[in-house]
Structure 1
Amino acid sequence: MVDAPDSVSRALRAAPPDQLVEAADQAIRSALGATRTDVFMADYRISGLWPVLDPELPAAGFLACHGVAQRCFSSQQPVRDAADDGRCRLYLPLSVWGERLGVLLIELSDAPGRSIETRATDIAGDLAVALRAADRETDRYRRARRRERLSMAAEMQWELLPGRSVSHRAFDLAGQLEPAYTVGGDHFDWSVDGDRLTVTVLNGDGNGLAASLLTAVAVNAMRNARRSGGGLAEQAELASDTLYYQHRGRRYVATLLLEVDIRSGRVRAVDAGSPHVLRLRGGTVEEITLEQQLPLGMFAEARYDLQEFELAPGDRLFVVSDGVWAAAPAEQEPYGERAMARSMRATRLQPAAEAVGTVMRELHAYHAETDLRDDAVVVCLDWRGFRGRDGG
């Protein structure tokens, strides 16, 4: 079993993309002597984990697995669970670059030693990379993640996302869209490039497919400028001009663009509309006030100015769209006035990927568990600060 990770890696590389879990199952059984494996995938709402290899798992067996798998997914640490017959179930996070995909279950006849657990963790890492790559070639794992049919607008929005979380030595970043299966114009995008992190949050005009198309044009225009070497202002201006000459000012996208210097923590910003930035520093929540400029696409040849603020190690930023900030169900005050700050404080001990889920759950509770009236985006950035490549 010395080359267990290598043998599983070879099996994954040789497998068709839609058969990765079967290939992993056979290879893990052979390499580690496992009696059973399965892959649990997180759904679009991150409300549960669902089996891929054994989707017909009996309800009692699924529920028994689910709670332990959820602990593993939330903690991002291996979790052991001893069965009554003496077997040991090992649950391992399936994550790549901070993107949390799900959990790998490996059942062994005996409790594994440290070396076996290390090998199993390496195997889970290889499988996570393979699953993320396979998403471009097969629909199988996307089907496993959806618990109901997506609207056409939502299908486009999820395809456009960079991911739902990413980790770096200097930061953790996560985002979530709601309502997950019908979201229209709200969106987020990010890119890590050398010493620069770019984050954009968009609050698209309108609803449904028209809003999704508008947002897709804006996101791709900003990506085009960014990938051509353009700075933050140029990204905003190209997107604004593209939208204006397509819709002549009748349609526009409120957008916040942020560019973080990873070495210094200095943030450049273009505030082109309504997304709000809040900072949690210690136990104090404050809104970072920026000068609002015109939404993208409102006027021809619009030009945008940069503003700056600083991040300190330990800071947590939340960026939210109007669907979060201005939500006022049943004649209540807007969520952003006080409830948002309470939700943020409740996340202090949670990682970024858990924190966005907490804020969204609190938002749903604020709506008395009814469907959200507007699209909602929450993005969370945890800033650790740059310590160099050696971690020092």
Structure 2
Amino acid sequence: MAMIPGRAMVEDASFAAHLRAAAPDRQVEAMVGYLRTRLGVSGADVLLADYRIAGLWGVLDSTTSGRIPLTGQDAAARCFSSQQALVDTGPRGVRLYVPVTVWGERVGVLVVELAEPPSDVLAGRLNVLAGDLALALRAADRDTDRYRRVRRRGRLSMAAELQWELIPGRSLWHDSYLLAGQLEPAYTVGGDNFDWAVNDDRLTVTAVNGDGTGLPASLLTALAVNAMRNARRSGGSLAEQAELASDTIFQHHRGERHLATVLLELDFHTGRVQAVDAGSPRVMRVRGGEVHRISLEEQLPLGMFEEGRYSSQEFWIEPGDRLFVVTDGVYAAAPGEREPYGDRVLAKAIRSTRLQPATEAVGTVMRDLRDYHDDTELDDDAVIVCLDWHGMKTERLG
């Protein structure tokens, strides 16, 4: 009987196959070995963005001295922000920086050391390989803690651990839109969260303002988010998603705990947005440089009453519009008895992002919010979600 060759004996025909053959926690080492032997590079590493999207940290060298601030002008930071490959021929030799991104999720930056500036062919090939690596790293996160350890620069509270496991990602891209979100305080966030999903040319986005603080708030949010997902994945409408979450919360807490949320569903073909406003998160629209709050009928928070029922409303967005969704930890922030951040300062911060993509805009507004707190830890959870709507540009296959 002929012996079936093992995976190690099979010559990989592609980079993706090479990564699949490696253990989840050895993806970067597999990448470096492949680039050395197949493309003749001198060395390589992957820099991952931390939880606050404040710095980049090397997987192979994740020491404090290796941090690259994302607000600086280092080539790696500029590559991450612009999502464009860059060549640096500085004192460290020739280095090519390539964004490691999949479906718009900015994982980090691939750094490749070369003997000479790369040709267009080599740069193009490395760009493709970086995309394969991004997909592999996202999949590997299910089975290893290594990349999370690099990204987190402090210990998460138990509440924050639950919240970060809930979010789908920090950015999402399609020809029709660019979507991004951020949680703060990143390492101690309690009840605020966001969620999104793309199904059948519709984008669903939710922002949650959990009741209370710490672990009880996080558990309440986890219950609500998973109930809304359950209804959505069963084909339920926005109203049905809110109703299942409300009923589930009431069954467990009998009206003593509740949760505020806003649910949005965007139709790619028409720009129509259906909305269920069940509490405090706000929706702001930016059009022509002007910032306006979308006026929605505020319904009761989820879980206040048995068999709570919800109705959806609608508004429209046009190509070029931007939506911000923020929780009360953003617009109601009033540290040191200052005026509430959302009365005037939030609109100013939002306008300042007009030349930035959504992925950069959320960080700009969040940094401005932290500055408003005199750079101290936020005294309430904060969620910012930003959607850039480009309009339906391509026909979906299928």
Does the CA-based 8 Å contact 1:7-1:27 persist in structure 2?
no
Change (3 A) 1:114 1:205: same
Q: Which runs of 5+ in 1 are unaligned?
A: none
AA in 1 matched with 2:381 = D
- Structure 1, residues 70-129: CA drift from partner, whole Å, max 9, x if none? 1100000001100337x4100000100000010000011011110010011011111111
Partner residue in 2 for 1:10: 17
Q: How is 1:118-137 mapped onto 2 (pairs within 5 angstroms)?
A: 118-137=124-143
Q: CA deviation at 1:390?
A: 7.8
Q: Within the alignment, does 1:268 sit opposite 2:292 as a pair?
A: no
Q: Within the alignment, does 1:100 sit opposite 2:106 as a pair?
A: yes
Partner residue in 2 for 1:305: 311
- Structure 1, residues 216-252: CA drift from partner, whole Å, max 9, x if none? 0000000000001110000000000000111011100
Partner residue in 2 for 1:385: 391
AA in 2 matched with 1:224 = N
Partner residue in 2 for 1:180: 186
Name the SS for the 1:357 alignment partner: helix
Q: CA deviation at 1:30?
A: 1.3
Does the CA-based 8 Å contact 1:277-1:318 persist in structure 2?
yes
Name the SS for the 2:307 alignment partner: coil
Deviates more, 1:9-18 or 1:177-186: 9-18
Whole-Å Cα distance in 1 between the matches of residues 188 and 320 of structure 2?
Answer: 34
Partner residue in 2 for 1:346: 352
Whole-Å Cα distance in 2 between the matches of residues 94 and 354 of structure 1?
Answer: 16
Does the CA-based 8 Å contact 1:8-1:28 persist in structure 2?
no
AA in 2 matched with 1:162 = P
AA in 1 matched with 2:270 = S
Whole-Å Cα distance in 2 between the matches of residues 360 and 60 of structure 1?
Answer: 20
Name the SS for the 1:380 alignment partner: strand
Name the SS for the 1:274 alignment partner: coil
Q: Within the alignment, does 1:89 sit opposite 2:95 as a pair?
A: yes
Q: CA RMSD in A?
A: 1.9
Q: Within the alignment, does 1:223 sit opposite 2:229 as a pair?
A: yes
Q: CA deviation at 1:388?
A: 2.7
Q: Within the alignment, does 1:55 sit opposite 2:84 as a pair?
A: no
Does the CA-based 8 Å contact 1:43-1:147 persist in structure 2?
yes
Q: How is 1:130-149 mapped onto 2 (pairs within 5 angstroms)?
A: 130-149=136-155
- TM, length-normalised to structure 1: 0.95
Q: CA deviation at 1:58?
A: 6.0
Q: How is 1:1-392 mapped onto 2 (pairs within 5 angstroms)?
A: 7-56=14-63, 67-84=74-91, 87-389=93-395
Name the SS for the 1:181 alignment partner: coil
Change (3 A) 1:59 1:311: closer
Does the CA-based 8 Å contact 2:194-2:205 persist in structure 1?
yes
AA in 2 matched with 1:300 = E
Q: Which runs of 5+ in 2 are unaligned?
A: 1-11
- TM, length-normalised to structure 2: 0.94
Name the SS for the 2:60 alignment partner: coil
Name the SS for the 2:74 alignment partner: helix
